[in-house]
Structure 1
Amino acid sequence: MHYVKAKSIFKSDNGINLYRGCTHGCIYCDSRSEIYSIDHEFEDIEVKENAIELLKKGMIKRKPSMIGTGAMTDPYLPLEKRLKFVRKTLKLVYRYGFGFTCITKSDLVLRDLDLLKKINEKTKAVVQITLTTADDELCRIIEPNVCPTSKRIEVLKTLNKNNIPAVVWLCPILPHINDTKENLDFILDACIENNVKGVLNFGFGLTLRKGNREYFYKKLDEKFPGIKDKYIKQFGDNYFIHSKNNAELMRIFTKRTYEHGILNKPDDIFAYLHEFPEKSVQTTLF
């Protein structure tokens, strides 16, 4: 871990990144790609030491809206237990009448359930959880340093009980590893049982480009001998890699989510995540 002084914190869409880099160790992580210009060891987390100060200044100047984090780095890294940057962010979000959403694989998000509930009662809070693999043992191989799927499903249950909406990222799905109907049905069952608002899927596969491709192939050689050669033969240097089962899995995914009233189109889900309740603006301003 190392500290930097950031010049800014808000992106144009009100997205923020409190940290850069990650210690979850997911073998497929796109954030390792060179395009993101991370100029330090990926596991050496960059902490924006003045992030909370910048957030406060930015919120004072902005009209209340949704604030999101987790697109590049899971905000609930182990160091968050000590630093509590996310918790401090949530306190500011509540104080200034903003809404909040985050993407995470960690059950540490439940530490902040009290603040998420308060924000959701006042404006809007949405928790986005990544689920890729039904089997916990496989999960520990492809996402080794974060809680397994079973614990993430417990997070969904807790959110549902507390009326906090959830969105599930059902991606990436790794060809020859977890691209099966059984895996998909298990995850969809969990989503349906826990009344998730939407399930994000961009096709059953993953993205590979310089930076994350090399790391992914290295891990395939370590954990799944022989699979890398299948990737090279089938996909070459393609950026997006589709499973050969993509058509069948997409049919099942679309049918089951539609039947249960779950949002399944990325554009619709992103519109929902960015939508800020206007009545909350009125309450905050007046």
Structure 2
Amino acid sequence: MHYVKAKSILSQKNGMNLYRGCSHGCIYCDSRSEIYNMDHDFEDIEVKENSIELLKRELLKRPKAMIGTGSMTDPYIPAERHLRYVRRSLELIDRYGFGFTCITKSDLLLRDLDLLKKINEKAKAVVQMTLTTADDDLCRILEPNVCPTSRRIEVLKELDDAGIPTVVWLCPILPYINDDFDNIRAILDHCVEVNVKGIFCFNMGLTLRDGNRQHFYRKLDEHFPGLKERYIEEFGDSYAVGSPNNDELMRYFKKRTSDEGIINDSYEILCYLREFPQKSRQSKLI
């Protein structure tokens, strides 16, 4: 872990990354790709030490909106337990009357349930949770340093009980690993049980770029001997690596979610995540 001084913390679309790099160890992580120009080891997490001061300054200048995090780095990495940058950010977001959404795989998020509830009462808080496999043993291979799927389902249930809306990212679905009907059905069963509002699923497959591809192939050699050669033969250097079961699984996904009243249109979900509710009232600035 190392510390840097950032020049700003919010993007034009109100996204923020308090950390850069991750220690969850997901074998497929696109954020390892060379295109992102990370100049340090991925597990050597970069901490933006002045992010809280920057966030306070930028929130004071911006119109009320949804603040998002987690698109590049899961905000609830283990180091967040003691650094508490996410929690301190949530305190500011609550104080100044903004909304909040994040993408995570971690049950550490429940530590901040009190703040999420306060934000949701005044504006909107939405938690986005990634689910890739219903099999906890496989999950511990694909995503080794974060809580397994069964625990994430428990988190989604607690959020639903607390009135916090949730969205699931059903991705990536890895060819010949978790791209089977039983897995997709089981994940959707869980989503129905915990009342998720929407599910992102662009297609059944994953993306591979330089940096990410090499790491993924090393992990295939470690955990799925012989599968790397099959990927190379079938997909070459393709960016989009699609499951041969894509058409069948996507038909099932769309029908099941439609039947259950779960939003499955990615654009509609994105609009919902970005929409700042008119019910929000401006909090007193302190």
Q: Which residue of 2 aligns with 1:276?
A: 276
- Separation (CA, whole Å) in 1 of partners of 2:142 and 2:279: 43
- Separation (CA, whole Å) in 2 of partners of 1:285 and 1:222: 54
State the Cα distance separating 1:257 from its structure 2 match: 0.5
Match of 1:279, SS state, is coil
Q: Which residue of 2 aligns with 1:228?
A: 228
State the Cα distance separating 1:278 from its structure 2 match: 1.7
The 5-angstrom pairing of residues 1-286 of structure 1 reads 1-280=1-280, 282-284=281-283
**2:5–2:49 contact (8 Å) kept in structure 1:** yes
- Separation (CA, whole Å) in 1 of partners of 2:179 and 2:166: 23
TM-score by length of 1: 0.98
**Total equivalences in the alignment:** 285
Code of the residue aligned with 2:182 in structure 1: it is: E
- Separation (CA, whole Å) in 1 of partners of 2:164 and 2:210: 37
Code of the residue aligned with 2:111 in structure 1: it is: R
State the Cα distance separating 1:202 from its structure 2 match: 1.0
- Separation (CA, whole Å) in 1 of partners of 2:282 and 2:192: 33
Match of 2:206, SS state, is strand
- Cα-to-partner distance string for 1:174-194 (whole Å, 9 max, x where unaligned): 000000000001110111111
- Separation (CA, whole Å) in 2 of partners of 1:243 and 1:31: 21
**2:30–2:207 contact (8 Å) kept in structure 1:** yes
Code of the residue aligned with 1:163 in structure 2: it is: G
Code of the residue aligned with 1:26 in structure 2: it is: C
- Separation (CA, whole Å) in 1 of partners of 2:231 and 2:268: 32
Code of the residue aligned with 2:119 in structure 1: it is: I
Code of the residue aligned with 1:176 in structure 2: it is: Y
Match of 2:279, SS state, is helix
Gap regions ≥5 residues in structure 1: none
- Separation (CA, whole Å) in 2 of partners of 1:226 and 1:272: 42
- Separation (CA, whole Å) in 2 of partners of 1:93 and 1:285: 12
Match of 2:10, SS state, is coil
TM-score by length of 2: 0.98
- Separation (CA, whole Å) in 2 of partners of 1:283 and 1:95: 9
CA-based RMSD of the aligned residues comes to 1.1
Gap regions ≥5 residues in structure 2: none
Code of the residue aligned with 1:10 in structure 2: it is: L
Code of the residue aligned with 2:61 in structure 1: it is: K
- Separation (CA, whole Å) in 1 of partners of 2:279 and 2:106: 31
Structure 1 ranges of 4+ moved more than 2 A? 282-286
- Separation (CA, whole Å) in 2 of partners of 1:86 and 1:190: 27
Code of the residue aligned with 1:14 in structure 2: it is: N
Match of 1:222, SS state, is helix
Identity across aligned pairs (percent)? Answer: 68
- Separation (CA, whole Å) in 2 of partners of 1:36 and 1:266: 24
Match of 1:128, SS state, is strand
Code of the residue aligned with 1:99 in structure 2: it is: G
